[in-house]
Structure 1
Amino acid sequence: MCGILFSLSNKDKVINNEHWEILKELNARRGPDAQDLKQVNICHNNDQLALQFFSTVLHLRGPEIVPQPRFNPDTGNVLCWNGEIFGGIRVACGQNDTEVLMEQLEKADSDIELLSLLTTIEGPFAFVYYRADTKKIWFSRDCLGRRSLLWQRSENGPFMLSSVVQASMDWEEVPANGIYCIDLESKEESEMRACGAPIKLFPWTYNDPQDKLETLQAGNLTFPFPRLNTTVPTDLTPIENEDTEPEIDNQMEQAIKEFSDELSKAVKNRVADVPYLNSKGHARIAILFSGGLDCICLAALADKHLPVSESIDLLNVAFENPRIEKARIQKVKTKKNKNKKNLEEKPVVEESVVEKQMIEEAVRSIYDTPDRLTGRAGVEELRNIAPNRTWNFVEINVPYVEAMEYKQRIIDRMFPLDTVMDLSIAMAFWFASRGRGVINNTIEYESHARVLISGLGADEQLGGYSRHREAFRQGSWEKLIIETQLDVDRISNRNLGRDDRIMSDHGKEVRFPFLSTDVVNGLCKQPIQLKMDLRFNRGIGEKILLRHVARKLGLINASRNWKRAIQFGAKTAKMTGENRIEKGQHKLS
């Protein structure tokens, strides 16, 4: 994980030094291990341009810290890289992927070769790369938008890119729709410009992978996965009981094997090569853990690819929500008053004691949120299938006062996203990724794992949302395929940039095995009914393929869990209770 900060300016469009220093500080939180600045001055159309590259590094690859920006004094080329190369370009175990990528980029003899190289990368990334011989600046996010990159394109100011900004600044997320190029030598007209130079987009498109070179020559990039298989099932066996797990036929057995293998490989790539950075025996890997189907499968697969002597942290967050607790206590009181009518009159003092005990019981359980309860059940199931592993179930309890103390910082980190729902989700992720809680009920514990594993991406591809069930109800398999394709198409422009900014604020990196482009590729090719069969009831039909994988892993109980959004599972939704009619899509006041 790294922080990227870049500016292109001239004498008429100068940098606000105060803003620049703020951005440097914010990016340093993402990369506390190394920070460096490189400036390049060039002449463009009789104008002096200044290119500033500032990078921060969180050491996660190789035995030694590799500072950024990477600069080659022989060629004048500069690279700021925030990403992980898990495939496409060979990075040997123990190698640093930034160094490998820089070497490969230096060998590219043309724009076509450079684009071809970048599109082969399997893994999340955002980058800025300056090619001195062509005076071109390349920048992008990966096609699924798994890393944050924002831009400021003011007509009256410099062009700037940053991994993170403050909410008071005028910035937008760089769309994850292709690779952008600023050609400082070109005089072409363009709708987008940076200090007078045109900004060209090479967009992602769905094309035959065999025609990749031809596509590049036409100025387009080929997605590493196809559109969804649109074959509509016509010969399915009628179901007799919507609450019974379906039998596994040969086609499903093959799908389970292929999906399980690809997902296991994706997990291995994301957990097995994290360097040992301390001698205290802390866990290298932590799972964002609600106990739900997605995260518990990832935890079980991580167990297969890490030495059994290592512990794994399971981060489970719960919030004190005054609105919910007030309603809970009122419910206790109401129940007590109803019971009183059915009992003989008792002394007032005894009533007071009973009432006090009931209210105290309600208060004691304020952190027993839905995700906490499924989390406890989930860790017990993991301990059953992997009893030799130390599973640190970290109960992260967040008092209301502390949540409000950090509210503005969280709003700043999630910007430019700014809705009520964004805040509810971001707050849960921010405190979860900080990793401070207790284990074994009483022992204070702080997770030092720098790599966080998230189950995001499973619901979009495997029919985990209620909208998938509604689409199936309205238009059967045809409409379900359309709805699922929409979800896959929207992954890149929804929430991943926000989640990256939130969790990296603690100097940690989040990784998404379900969004490995190899996993996405495999799932896109599968017929729809093998991924989800919504003829079956909730807890069975959605994500049916993953449920089968869970049972193969020995996670019998977890295989029946269904989707619960984190803001409801951790109880961050409408924490203040200031506006009961406020909806999740509403802008923050």
Structure 2
Amino acid sequence: MCGILFSLSNKDRPVNEEEWEILKELNTRRGPDAQNLKQVHCSCDQEELTLQFFSTVLHLRGPEVVPQPRFNPATGDVLCWNGEIFGGVQVGFGQNDTEVLMAQLEKAESEVELLSLFSTIEGPFAFVFYKAATNKVWFARDCLGRRSLLWQKSETHAFMLSSVAKADQEWEEVPAHGIYCIDLQSTGSEPVACNKSIKLYPWTYHDPQDRLETLQNGNLTFPFPRLNATIPSDLAPIENEDEDPEIDESMNTAIDEFTFELNKSVKNRVADVPYLDSKGQARVAILFSGGLDCICLAALADQHLPLTESIDLLNVAFENPRIEKAKSQKVKTKKNKKNKQPEEEIKPVIEEPTVRSIYDTPDRLTGRAGVEELRRISPERTWNFVEINVPYPEAMEYKQRIIDRMYPLDTVMDLSIAMAFWFASRGKGVIHGSEEYESHARVLISGLGADEQLGGYSRHREAFRQGSWEKLIQETQLDVDRISNRNLGRDDRIMSDHGKEVRFPFLSTDVVNWLCRQPIELKMDLRYNRGIGEKILLRHVARRLRLINASRNWKRAIQFGAKTAKMTGENRSEKGQHKLL
């Protein structure tokens, strides 16, 4: 994980120095291990331009910290890289992927070779690369938008890129639609980058066999196809909608292949994390609600980390005054009805003490059940179930900071989700009921991406109800198409605020590629009831992993599972899509 900050300025559009210093500080939170600045001055089209590259580094690959930006004095090339290369480009065990990538970029002699290199990378990334020989600046987010990159296009100040921004400035997320290029030698018609135009080389669906021709035409080929749109036929009738279906030969093959792909994805994301603390401490933590997605990832991570190491399971719960008030009123109403007396004799209701904790949220309860199941299948492992309890005053104390980090996203739902992720990734809680504990794991594993691809949302069931398999395929394709436009950049900004990196095994492009090619009925069968039909393939995988109880868990959004939704209750008509005031 790294922080990227870049500016392109001239005498008419200078850098706002005050803002620049604030952005440097914000990016340093993302990369506390190294920070460096590289300035480049060039004369293009009879105009003096200044390029500033500032990078911060969170050490997660190789034995030593590799500072950024990477600069080659022989060529003048500069690279700011915030990403992880898990495939496509060969990075040996213990090697630093930034150094490997820079060496490959130096060899690229044409635009086609450069575009080909970036389009083959399997892994999340955002980058800025300056090719001095051609006076071109290249930048992008990966095709699924798994890393944050924002831009500020001003008519009066410098063009800027940053991993994170100040909330009172006009920033937007760089769309993950392709790779962008600024040709410093050409004058554009729009003043978006100091009078330089920005060209997009878009991601498109093409036959991988035609990849070179596609690149030559200025397009990139997605590393996965559109969904298999074959409508199921000749399916066996369902005798009981509440019973797990029999596993036939095609499903058995799918379970084996999906387990292999997901297991490989998890291995790539946990097996090469450097030891920064004493041996035995957790290098990896799971964002853990006890749900189907995260518990499968935890069980797979267990296969690739030494048993001498613990794994942290981060489970967050909030004190929500609105919910507690509603429960209290409900209890009073019941007591009043039960003890109904003539009006003049009604006595005040005396609240009875309860042993139920305000932090016994739905995710806390499933999390406790989940860790017990993990302990049964892997008793030699130390599973640290970290109960992260957030009192209401503390949530309000950090509310503005969280709003600033999720910017430019700014809805009620964004805040509910961002608040849960911010406190979860901070990792401060208790283990064993009362022992204070802070997770120092720098790599966080998230189950995001499973619901979109495997039919985990209620909208998938509604689509199936309205239009059977055809409508379900359309809805799932829509979900895959808009993954890059949704909230991954926000989540990256939120969790990296603690100097930690989140990784998404279900969004490995190899996993996405495999899932896109499978018939819809192998991934989900919504003829079955809730807890069976959605994510049916992953439920079978869970049972293969001996996670019998967890295989019946269903989707619960984190803002409801952790109780961050509508915490204050100030406006009950407030909806998730409403803008924050």
What secondary structure, in the 3-state scheme, does the structure 1 residue paired with 2:276 have? coil
- Aligned equivalents of 2:192 and 2:561: distance in 1? 45
Structure 1 residue 512, shift from structure 2 partner: 0.1
Structure 1 residue aligned with 2:45: 45
Structure 1 residue aligned with 2:144: 144
Structure 1 residue 61, shift from structure 2 partner: 0.2
Structure 2 residue aligned with 1:382: 374
Runs of 5+ in structure 2 lacking a partner?
none
Structure 1 residue aligned with 2:580: 588
What secondary structure, in the 3-state scheme, does the structure 1 residue paired with 2:464 have? helix
- Aligned equivalents of 2:346 and 2:525: distance in 1? 59
Q: Match for 1:111: what amino acid?
A: E
Structure 2 residue aligned with 1:294: 293
Q: Match for 1:402: what amino acid?
A: E
Deviations 1:83-141 (A, max 9, x none): 00000001001000000000000000111000001100000000000000000000000
- Aligned equivalents of 2:330 and 2:384: distance in 1? 34
Structure 2 residue aligned with 1:10: 10
Asked if residue 88 in structure 1 is aligned to residue 88 in structure 2, the reply is yes
Structure 1 residue 361, shift from structure 2 partner: 1.2
- Aligned equivalents of 1:368 and 1:190: distance in 2? 58
Alpha carbons of structure 1 residues 457 and 554: separation in structure 2 relative to 1, 3 Å:
same
Any conservation in 2 of the 1:190–1:199 contact (CA below 8 Å)? Answer: no
Structure 1 residue aligned with 2:534: 542
Deviations 1:181-218 (A, max 9, x none): 0011224x455741122210000000000000000000
Any conservation in 2 of the 1:77–1:130 contact (CA below 8 Å)? Answer: yes
What secondary structure, in the 3-state scheme, does the structure 1 residue paired with 2:354 have? helix
What secondary structure, in the 3-state scheme, does the structure 2 residue paired with 1:151 have? strand
Structure 1 residue 390, shift from structure 2 partner: 0.4
Any conservation in 1 of the 2:151–2:174 contact (CA below 8 Å)? Answer: yes
Asked if residue 525 in structure 1 is aligned to residue 517 in structure 2, the reply is yes
Deviations 1:521-567 (A, max 9, x none): 00000000000000000000000000000000000010000000000
What secondary structure, in the 3-state scheme, does the structure 2 residue paired with 1:361 have? coil
Alpha carbons of structure 1 residues 192 and 126: separation in structure 2 relative to 1, 3 Å:
farther
Structure 1 residue aligned with 2:354: 361
Structure 1 residue 29, shift from structure 2 partner: 0.1
What secondary structure, in the 3-state scheme, does the structure 2 residue paired with 1:524 have? helix
What secondary structure, in the 3-state scheme, does the structure 2 residue paired with 1:181 have? strand
Alpha carbons of structure 1 residues 296 and 197: separation in structure 2 relative to 1, 3 Å:
same
What secondary structure, in the 3-state scheme, does the structure 1 residue paired with 2:11 have? coil
Structure 1 residue aligned with 2:460: 468
- Aligned equivalents of 1:44 and 1:196: distance in 2? 12
Runs of 5+ in structure 1 lacking a partner?
none
Q: Match for 1:396: what amino acid?
A: I
What secondary structure, in the 3-state scheme, does the structure 1 residue paired with 2:79 have? strand
Structure 1 residue aligned with 2:268: 269
- Aligned equivalents of 1:102 and 1:375: distance in 2? 42
What secondary structure, in the 3-state scheme, does the structure 1 residue paired with 2:416 have? helix
Structure 2 residue aligned with 1:116: 116
Any conservation in 2 of the 1:192–1:199 contact (CA below 8 Å)? Answer: no
What secondary structure, in the 3-state scheme, does the structure 2 residue paired with 1:418 have? coil
Deviations 1:374-398 (A, max 9, x none): 0000000000101110000000000
- Aligned equivalents of 1:92 and 1:191: distance in 2? 43
Aligned-pair identity (%): 80
Q: Match for 1:277: what amino acid?
A: L
- Aligned equivalents of 1:84 and 1:267: distance in 2? 13
Structure 1 residue aligned with 2:159: 159
- Aligned equivalents of 1:347 and 1:460: distance in 2? 53
Task: Report the RMSD for the aligned CA atoms in angstroms.
Answer: 1.4
- Aligned equivalents of 1:347 and 1:82: distance in 2? 66
Deviations 1:316-349 (A, max 9, x none): 000000000011112222233333349xxx998x
Note the 1:357-436 alignment, pairs <5 A: 358=352, 360-361=353-354, 364-436=356-428
Note the 1:6-85 alignment, pairs <5 A: 6-85=6-85
Any conservation in 1 of the 2:85–2:123 contact (CA below 8 Å)? Answer: yes
Structure 2 residue aligned with 1:481: 473
Structure 2 residue aligned with 1:552: 544
Structure 2 residue aligned with 1:194: 193
Q: Match for 1:275: what amino acid?
A: P
Structure 1 residue aligned with 2:492: 500
- Aligned equivalents of 1:425 and 1:271: distance in 2? 25
Q: Match for 2:275: what amino acid?
A: Y
Any conservation in 2 of the 1:228–1:481 contact (CA below 8 Å)? Answer: yes
Q: Match for 1:29: what amino acid?
A: R
- Aligned equivalents of 2:559 and 2:207: distance in 1? 40
- Aligned equivalents of 2:428 and 2:108: distance in 1? 45
What secondary structure, in the 3-state scheme, does the structure 1 residue paired with 2:303 have? helix
- Aligned equivalents of 1:107 and 1:280: distance in 2? 39
Deviations 1:386-428 (A, max 9, x none): 1110000000000000000000000000000000000000000
- Aligned equivalents of 2:314 and 2:521: distance in 1? 33
- Aligned equivalents of 2:181 and 2:515: distance in 1? 32
Any conservation in 1 of the 2:267–2:304 contact (CA below 8 Å)? Answer: yes
Any conservation in 2 of the 1:317–1:396 contact (CA below 8 Å)? Answer: yes
Any conservation in 2 of the 1:165–1:415 contact (CA below 8 Å)? Answer: yes
Deviations 1:15-47 (A, max 9, x none): 111100000000000000000000000001211
